[in-house]
A and B are shown apart, each in its own frame.
Chain A
Amino acid sequence: MSAKLMFNSLAWLVWLAPFAGILAAGVTRRTDPRIEGDSVLRHDMAARVEHWATAISAVLLLLTGISLGVLFVPALLGPGVPIWTALNLHFAAVVMFLFGTFYYATNTVLSPKRLAEHLPTGDAVEYTKRHYGLLLGFKKFTMPPERKYFESEKMAYLMAAAATITIIITGLVKVAAHSMSVPGQLMAVVTPTHDIATVVMLAFIVPHIFFAAILPASWPILRSMFTGRVSLGYAQHEHAGWLAELEQIGETSDESNDDDVIQTPAPKRVA
């Protein structure tokens, strides 16, 4: 008995997914964060779609990928149906991951300020040490007013972005090998690189899930990934710098809904 591998029969979906993400971003109208009474809109619908499409698919990719065997870890699955099922699940996750990442990347191109708020500042290393020290309870320190994302999250963002780009490039070569003759020497480099990037992604996603979903202190922010909102009190306590920016921008700026218009605060330190 043999089975159809979607990487062969439906490979076109892999090439279609990035363009679907680009098109979706093109027709998406973003809503900027704003203060709404006693809550703050933190993630608009597009941000939540980006996050969950990427997150769910990344977890599925990691589970199926590791089950199929990564680097020196033997395959955990038996031959036949278990392996084919894992490969097909991996395929479905690939399509979802490509859509999510290209949707995010295109949204970022359309609105570069969203990238800027993810990039670490010069305080990143020191803030990160203090942030996790506070979370884990072995440091006593009053955090300076953080902006929308903690410096620690910005550091992790760089790692996740590097792993994601590597995984996508090497993964697309692996997909191409299903429909065209790719030199064995190239595959000998691509496959271990894909696996190493997988390990880096695992090193990102496990702490991310712990600090952003399991740790009770992070539950308000986890909830915001579903509702889009955090309470004003939470924003004041955890992201005072960001709240100050929102207050400064004003909650009813018509122009803020237009991603072709870039608004940046005047060059003064808010935090």
Chain B
Amino acid sequence: MTTSKRNPEGIITMKADHITKAPEASSPAEGKTFSRREFVTSLGGVGIGAILGGMVVSSVLLPEKVFAIPASGGYLLVDTKKCAGCTSCMMACSLTHHGETNHSLSRIQITQNPWGNFPEDITISQCRQCPFPACVEACPTGAMHADAKTGVRTVDEAKCIGCERCVNACPFTPSRALWNFEEKHAQKCDLCEGAKFWDQKGGPDGKRACEEICPMGAISFTTQIPAQNEGGYEVDLRTGTVWDTLGFGGAPQSGGHLG
């Protein structure tokens, strides 16, 4: 309640509202009133106490965080010995995800060394969908995550704050987590799960644009986790094909010598 009175100088003096304790309070100070100042001071103190207390309690009672993540539903395999370096996969990747053909927006990268000798002159850098993805672990906001249904490591663009920790965290060079310089967020291979400019169903259960477009059949797909080694997911996609007859097969029994 507010009371007011006018003093001789014509100034109205009002006593500010007071919050009155509930009448049923059984403390000795029954009927005591709190001023607004006392109320906000208490609010500040209680708030600080609650936060600091909560931190202490949570550090004692809650267990250490465990980084657990489901396996991806699929993996891209490549055979660089079949790759002609046409970059059709890069253009298809960019086109299906962004509606434009731009090598810099592709989530799969072909790098060529014009002075290199076959088969070291071409490298295909595709995301490995790592079992323990450093990019997901590094993300501070959960933007880089494993899809709940398919396990595919992908980016929720709305959650990305652009810190690029994922880009730096990826243990491979070039980083498989890429920076989209046009839309300013991280992006990576999602096995075409989010290829919104493609009229085909993508993802582990659908098709992958790079795999579909590759004229050399240098890109394949598996649902089994490939062996984790230095060579990554480099496999022989020649043996058992016409490449054998050309002497470019991988298996000794096919007469190949390229491994």
Name A residues whose Cβ lies closer than 8 Å to a Cβ of B: 1-3, 5, 7-8, 12, 15-16, 18-27, 68-69, 74-75, 79-80, 83-84, 87, 106, 109-110, 174, 177-178, 181-182, 184-185, 187-188, 191, 248-250, 255, 259-266, 268
Contact = CB atoms under 8 A, between A and B. Distances in A.
B47 A18 contact: yes
A19 B163 contact: no
B47 A80 contact: no
Given A15-B51, A262-B14, A181 B40 contact: no
Nearest to A268: B10
A265 B10 CA distance: 7
Contact of B159 (A2, A87, A184): A184
Given A5-B140, A75-B162, A191-B158, A248 B9 contact: yes
Contacts of B42: 26
Contacts of B167: 79
A182 B159 contact: yes
Interface of B: 6, 9-16, 35-38, 40-45, 47-48, 51-52, 55, 138, 140-142, 156-159, 161-165, 167-169, 179, 181, 184
Contact of A263 (B12, B37, B45): B12
A191 B37 CA distance: 35
Given A79-B164, A264-B12, A184 B140 contact: no
Contacts of B138: 2
Contacts of A268: 10
A5 B159 contact: no
Given A75-B184, A79-B179, A19 B11 contact: no
B11 A265 contact: yes
A170 B214 CA distance: 45
B51 A26 contact: no
Contacts of B9: 248-250
13 contacts: A12-B51, A19-B44, A23-B41, A25-B40, A79-B167, A79-B168, A80-B164, A187-B156, A248-B10, A260-B15, A261-B16, A262-B14, A264-B14
B219 to A, nearest CB: 28
Contacts of A25: 40, 44
Nearest to A73: B184
Given A15-B51, A262-B14, A109 B164 contact: no
A248 to B, nearest CB: 7
Contacts of B169: 2
Contacts of A18: 47
A83 B140 contact: no
A177 B38 CA distance: 33
Contacts of A84: 163, 165
Given A24-B44, A106-B40, A110-B40, A80 B168 contact: yes
Given A74-B181, A261-B13, A26 B40 contact: yes
Nearest to A74: B184
Contacts of B184: 69, 74-75
A215 B155 CA distance: 48
Contacts of B37: 26, 110, 259-260
B104 to A, nearest CB: 14
Nearest to A3: B165
B22 to A, nearest CB: 21
B16 A262 contact: yes
A260 B55 contact: no
A187 B40 CA distance: 32
A216 B105 CA distance: 51
Given A26-B44, A261-B15, A83 B142 contact: no
A187 B159 contact: yes
Contact of A109 (B6, B36, B179): B36
A23 B48 contact: yes
A177 B156 CA distance: 12
Contacts of A264: 11-12, 14
A248 B16 CA distance: 22
B215 to A, nearest CB: 34
Contact of A177 (B6, B159, B163): B159
B10 A266 contact: yes
Contacts of A26: 37-38, 40-45
A1 B159 contact: no
A2 B156 CA distance: 21
A110 B36 contact: yes
A261 to B, nearest CB: 6
Closest 6 CB pairs of A and B: A23-B44, A26-B41, A19-B47, A22-B44, A188-B158, A266-B10
